[in-house]
A and B are shown apart, each in its own frame.
Chain A
């Protein structure tokens, strides 16, 4: 049996998910805008479809119309993108997909990030362990040259 507190939490959770879903849904104009930024214009201008301002471009207008028709026709985002790939080839997608070999493009940078940060942490740890302990010295055990050297080191390390 759920307590009142548990019920309240579940209700709030359901409401939150509902609100987020509604926020993420978007109208057809924003879907066209969003999908249009995931596609390239194929006129060889190397521009995103919605940003192609190539004067006299014979492709972008047609492609935008096809995109709007696809969205208005009730196709899902992935269906619209698949439709474009079928017609214009894989280079029409502005980014690699998340399947097959293309997934490597997305994964490797984050593997490198984890490796890089982990590597630095490991280096710091190893160096910290290797640190040579400084022998305890009597207060007056330094020569004038030692003191000058140490002052110079302190100045160098502190920018003062």
Chain B
């Protein structure tokens, strides 16, 4: 099986190499043979997908058949591993995850090559660039990180097992989502570079890649959120984001990708920022590769498993090639990227997009700076330092709040220039509402619990929380006001009710209103995060009937039990949760011990009403007394974070829907009747 797998990977490399080399040659030939070569290169690209798919299928089959002659299967699986995790073995380690990268890339390339009729020449360029990226990953898989390498020595009877942290249902979905996002950015990169190489006229490449980019962005968002959810429900430390280099690596392309999704609108609408956009997508793709390098080269310390390996040099070389290629074609063809318009006012949609882009890039820079600073410090000072959550939280929070402010304000500014009257009309009531929310949060008594009774003057983190709450409210109110305003206009014209009119409004311009829904999702995510400074913890050794009080809850130890499966044995605490003297639920925090890996793992149990999470961890037993140690966390508002993610994904899906047909307009065609002046006057805000 290992030989077949290795052979298929070699075949995939040959096919991708053909697709790249011959595809590139065909692009520069102008004779009749060019079309034929292009077609063979396209087909070779499609065939490479089949080959990589077979290789991945072989590896998964080997996991199911417990073929421990393959070293990768031996290191990441065992006989008693449940079936879904055997499937997940494919992306559980270095070599498998690179094969999975390659498979997804081949899958994207497959779809792209099938749709080549849309614009054969542009797609041929994109296909060649994707083949080049594929060649790099297949070179790695064939020569540096071989998934089908055999186990040395005697054939082991059982595998070493999968890391217990990865044995959780989300681990079956989180990496594929994240990788789909990472790899997906290759498509807009390929189109952008292709369009630059061929001096593609107009912005059609942006229209072609818009959906690809949005789908990719949605998948990456989903992947990051699932990772946070997994960290929260599996790692058992009571948080969901720890600024680990692997987390940062996934955030970097998300930030620049989000900036691109905004600034690309300026190119579509006003023919501006062409250079900026093309570099944003180059950087986004570069960061996907850089993130992979960062987490697999051992350059920085990470809690993730595959941080130590020797493939870093390959990635450095690949990054250098990407940078050189992008710079060369940019310098060579930059005259093609001349802007059509200039900014006219500081108070305009264009300016808000520019500021928003700068903030996204700054947050990206801060995340990268903090991650790499220990390396820099060691190089300059001779000793390593730690740059952990206190640094990232202190620095990124003010930036993120500025961004949230722009999220509220930007969409309602008019293109070109916004008048003072329009500003007042659009923002007066939402601002009053946001201030009212702030006053309410401060004026309410702290005894109400959660985020009520905020005292922003006692700690800067509380101050940030209050500002975040007010800005999140501002975002929600401005978007609601925009929906209401548009809905009322449609209701007036069509005689429909307000709600159906608002739905029709959204359907008529799905991209714009889908984007607004994404903004609401972001505001909800901020609400979920702003409770963090108010987190509380309590820890106690608990015998039968013992009690922990935390916030409004009392946890009473009812019993302790044990369980054993083929894969692990576990100790479980049974804790009754009371609020105001009334039993509201029972929690079952668990401590597992995995047989194959001989590693322990906590499984927290969480009670999640909207106001706060009661998060309980079975920490283990006191070695002297033998009594179980229970740690309880009270984390305000966390549920809103997950709700915000769902709303954001819904908004992304909405934005992908085709628009409903616009109502037929009467078009005046006679110049004399028009009384029409050049559009120098600003369009009203929100239009």
Contact = CB atoms under 8 A, between A and B. Distances in A.
Interface in B139-176: none
A149 to B, nearest CB: 11
Interface in B221-279: 235-239, 242, 244, 268-270
A147 B600 contact: no
Interface stretch (B83-91, B380-388, B493-501, B542-550): B380-388
Interface string A97-113: 00011100110111011
Interface stretch (B68-76, B357-365, B442-450, B473-481): B357-365
A101 B384 CA distance: 12
Given A91-B384, A131-B342, A142-B676, A106 B395 contact: yes
Contacts, number: 174
A160 B687 contact: yes
A144 B457 contact: no
Interface stretch (B182-190, B209-217, B664-672): B664-672
B84 to A, nearest CB: 24
Q: How large is the interface on B (under 10, 10 to 19, 20 to 34, 35 or more residues)?
A: 35 or more
B391 A112 contact: no
B310 interface: no
Given A53-B631, A160-B687, A150 B600 contact: no
Contacts of B455: 23
B679 A96 contact: no
A93 B387 CA distance: 8
A123 B343 contact: yes
Interface in A88-134: 89-96, 100-102, 105-106, 108-110, 112-113, 116-117, 119-121, 123-125, 127-128, 130-131, 134
A31 interface: no
Contacts of A127: 342-344
B670 A95 contact: no
Contacts of B672: 140
B662 to A, nearest CB: 8
A123 B509 CA distance: 31
B387 A95 contact: yes
B416 A55 contact: no
B345 A128 contact: yes
A143 B383 CA distance: 72
Interface centre among B355, B600, B674, by most A CB within 10 Å? B674
Contacts of A47: 237, 242, 303
Interface stretch (B40-48, B369-377, B419-427): B369-377
A40 B303 CA distance: 13
Contact of A150 (B244, B351, B676): B676
Given A116-B362, A128-B342, A92 B676 contact: no
Given A109-B362, A140-B672, A144-B669, A53 B237 contact: yes
B125 interface: no
A51 B238 contact: yes
Interface string A47-75: 11011110110000000000000000000
B344 A131 contact: yes
A116 B385 contact: no
B387 A109 contact: no
Given A94-B386, A109-B395, A157-B269, A101 B380 contact: yes
Given A94-B388, A157-B270, A53 B602 contact: yes
B355 A95 contact: no
B612 interface: no
B675 A150 contact: no
B416 A157 contact: yes
A96 B236 CA distance: 26
Nearest to A92: B386
Interface residues of A, number: 66
Contacts of B102: none
B197 to A, nearest CB: 27
Interface centre among A50, A124, A140, A150, by most B CB within 10 Å? A124
B237 A46 contact: no
B669 A40 contact: no
Nearest to B265: A159
A38 B239 CA distance: 16
B680 A96 contact: no
Given A48-B389, A90-B385, A116 B303 contact: no
Contacts of B366: 109, 112
A51 B235 CA distance: 11
Contacts of A102: 377, 385
27 contacts: A38-B390, A40-B388, A44-B301, A46-B242, A48-B242, A50-B537, A51-B238, A53-B617, A56-B600, A89-B383, A90-B384, A92-B386, A94-B391, A95-B390, A96-B377, A101-B380, A105-B369, A106-B391, A106-B395, A109-B395, A113-B362, A120-B351, A124-B345, A128-B343, A128-B346, A156-B268, A159-B512
Closest 10 CB pairs of A and B: A127-B342, A94-B388, A95-B391, A55-B600, A95-B390, A116-B358, A127-B343, A158-B687, A51-B237, A109-B366
Given A55-B602, A90-B384, A128-B343, 10 more contacts: A24-B458, A24-B459, A52-B237, A96-B385, A116-B358, A117-B355, A120-B358, A128-B342, A140-B671, A158-B687
Interface of B: 235-239, 242, 244, 268-270, 301-303, 342-346, 351, 354-355, 358-359, 361-362, 365-366, 369-370, 373, 377, 380-381, 383-391, 394-395, 399, 415-416, 455, 457-459, 509, 512, 537, 591, 600-602, 617, 619-620, 631, 667-672, 674-680, 683, 687
